Amino acid sequence: MGVRKIDVSMCTGCAICVEYCPMDVLKMDGERQKAFIKYLRDCQSCFLCERVCPENAITCIPVYERRIPLPW
Ligand code: SF4
Ligand code: SF4
């Protein structure tokens, strides 16, 4: 699963999460100026979006069955 939800009531539309996501999972809804999860299947559960969101609007959950390649 990885990224689970974006709380739109907390999202200010800063787009930081969209910029940081390495898999291009998140997009901005131009009309509402809120981030949303567009390509959930591509999420690699890296938790980066959750960490960088200044409003703590993003919730991720770990995916234990998926291996995450480590750089060492
Ligand atoms: S980083 Fe957080 S506040 Fe900014 S667009 Fe993404 S979800 Fe919204
Ligand atoms: S957990 Fe990582 S791959 Fe998944 S949406 Fe967030 S930044 Fe993108």
> What are the tens digits of pLDDT across the range 26-41?
999 999 999 999 999 9
3-class state of residue 36 by DSSP: strand
Ligand 1 pocket, residue 21 CB under 6 Å: no
Ligand 1 pocket, residue 14 CB under 6 Å: yes
Residues making up the chain, counted from first to last: 72
Give CA–CA dist 42/39, Å, rounded: 6
> What are the tens digits of pLDDT across the range 5-60?
999 999 999 999 999 999 999 999 999 999 999 999 999 999 999 999 999 999 99
Q: Whose CA is nearest to atom 4 of ligand 2?
A: 43
Domains in the chain, CATH or no CATH each: 2-61 (3.30.70.20)
